[in-house]
Every structure is written in C-alpha cells, then in structure tokens.
C-alpha cells in the first residue's frame, strides 16, 4: 500500500483510510472489518467521538489494542453529546476539548491520538481558544498533531493563518470539486487535504443505481445532468472501475494525503483498496474529467 505524508508531520498514511463510521454497531462484525482493513495494508483509521455516541471509538480501540504502534489514528472533537440522549450541540471551547480528549483516549484504549481534528467550526467560534487547547494537548503528549474537518473557506483561512494544523478534512470527489479552490492556499502552507466522500454517496461506484438515486441529483447536478455525467465518466474510465476513477482523481492532487472511504462489508473494502492500488490517472484522463464536470465554488461561508 502506497503511503503519503500528512502535511509537515511525520505521519505517513496509506493512500486509502478506513472511514470507521461505516462499520456499523454490531461489535464482532465491526472489529472484523477494521482488522481486515489493517491486514490489507490500511494503516489510517478515521473515527470521531460523536459516531454512535462513542461506540465507534470503542470498537476501534478494541481492534487496534495490540497493534497500536502500526496505526495512524485520527478522531474528532467539538460535538457535545449526552450518552443515551438524541442530538448534540457545538462546543469548540478549550474546556470541552480538554475534557473530551480524555474520554476519547479512554474509549480508544490508547494514551495518544495521532491526528486530533476539530469536527466542524464556524467563523463565530473563539478560534484562538480552540487552537490553544490543541497546542496544549500537543505539548502534554495527548495528541501528536491536529487538523480541522471543515468545508467553510472562511474557517479554513483562519486556521491556516493562526494555527499549526497539518490537515483539513473535506468532502471531495469528482462530483464535488468545490475544495479545489482552497488547494493552492493549503499547498502553499504545506497542509494536506484528507478527502472524505470520494465516491459521492455511492454514485461513483459499480453498484447498480436506481433511477430514483439519479433523479434526486447531487449537489448542483440536476437528475438529468447527473445521469449524463456518470455515463461520460464511465466512458473515460474505460477498463477501469468507476471507483478507481473516483479515488485516483482525488489522489491526482498532490495536496491530498489520503482518501477516507467507508466500507460496511469486505467487498467494499477490497474495492476501495484495489482502486488506490491501480495506476494513477494520466494527464489526459484528468483533463477529460475536469472538462466533463463542474468546478463549483462554495456559495456560503466565504
């Protein structure tokens, strides 16, 4: 499995990471899937305290307990929840971050987190306070590095300007090219992109699509446009699978350290792994994809 460096850190992650949110709530099955990913060469696991109210972190902790040193572990903070109660509230305060990390460490059965990410963020937050919390956690050895998970250009710019983040997790795919507008800024500051949602809710996979899936459209693609563009992408893919095209497109951007893909069964996991182990896209293929899809911009949070 090829690896890439996350920003200026010494974290080298497999080109595909496992989005652990997708492994489900049945413990044996979830842990087996995480184990299989690791056996296939995936060393980057992404979870969050919010996923199933901490249960996902618990599963990850049990799966990696005896192989912690070979794993790059990423989790997230900022969404305050109460066990057993529905919903959550946004809390990026220093007090909450400093307490939530201890809970995550306990559930993950580890004494450090490789990449701790703010799970969202708004321009109205006390950003300096959140940064102070992450910097203190670094100094105290609870986390090795930190980043943010955000699709808000104004928030991303502030963290680039004020903090030592090494990564920004963003929804990014052939059908959601909005992040490309911030790539030059991140590349200039040696900050990596971690791409989530690379197969656009399954639209960029080989699974048989219901007509209703296409009719709903996707982001700023109307239903009829979506069917047409997917047909075009399949033609560009040729002998490749659509999943290969999708993941390799994200990885064609040098600033992308990894694509984080979900998998709820072994077949999906293998499909993702085969996709990143395939040949990189040619310049011609990349150009055809860009000419066939929308280079949209974020409409809000400018």
Phi, psi of 117 (to 5 degrees): -120, 140
Q: Which of 11, 17, 300, 16 is nearest to 165 (CA)?
A: 11
Burial of 28 (0-12, 13-18, 19+ CB in 10 A): exposed
Find the catalytic residue in 12, 40, 44, 51: 51
- Write out the two tokens for 59: 């599963």
Is 74:115 a contact under the CB 8 Å cutoff? yes
112 as an active site residue: the answer is: no
DSSP for 199-256, please give it: TTTTTTSSSPPPHHHHHT-BTTB-HHHHHHHHHHHHHHHTTS-HHHHHHHHHHTSTTE
Ramachandran category for residue 138: left, alpha or beta (phi over 0 → left; psi -120 to 50 → alpha): alpha
Which residues are marked as active site? Answer: 51
């Amino acid at each position: 499995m090829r690896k890439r460096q996350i920003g200026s850190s010494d974290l080298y992650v497999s080109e595909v990471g496992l989005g652990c949110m997708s492994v489900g709530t049945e413990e044996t099955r979830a842990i087996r899937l995480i184990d299989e990913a690791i056996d296939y060469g995936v060393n980057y696991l992404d979870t969050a305290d919010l996923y199933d109210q901490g249960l996902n972190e618990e599963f990850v902790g049990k799966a990696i307990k005896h192989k912690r040193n070979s794993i790059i572990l990423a989790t997230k903070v900022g969404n305050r929840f109460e066990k057993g109660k529905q919903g959550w509230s946004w809390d990026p305060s220093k007090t909450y971050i400093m307490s939530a990390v201890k809970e995550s460490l306990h559930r993950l059965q580890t004494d450090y987190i490789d990449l701790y990410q703010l799970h969202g963020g708004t321009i109205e937050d006390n950003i300096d306070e959140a940064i102070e919390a992450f910097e203190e956690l670094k100094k105290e050895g609870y986390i090795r590095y930190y980043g943010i998970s955000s699709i808000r250009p104004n928030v991303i710019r502030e963290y680039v300007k004020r903090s030592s983040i090494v990564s920004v997790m963003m929804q990014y795919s052939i059908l959601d090219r909005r992040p490309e507008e911030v790539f030059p800024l991140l590349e200039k500051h040696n900050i990596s992109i971690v791409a989530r949602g690379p197969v656009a809710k399954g639209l960029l996979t080989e699974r048989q699509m219901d007509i209703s899936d296409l009719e709903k459209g996707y982001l700023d693609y109307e239903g009829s446009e979506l069917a047409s563009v997917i047909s075009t992408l399949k033609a560009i893919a040729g002998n490749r699978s659509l999943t290969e095209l999708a993941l390799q497109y994200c990885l064609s951007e040098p600033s992308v350290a990894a694509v984080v893909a979900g998998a709820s069964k072994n077949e999906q996991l293998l499909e993702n792994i085969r996709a990143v182990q395939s040949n990189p896209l040619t310049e011609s293929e990349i150009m055809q994809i860009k000419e066939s899809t929308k280079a949209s911009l974020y409409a809000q949070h400018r």
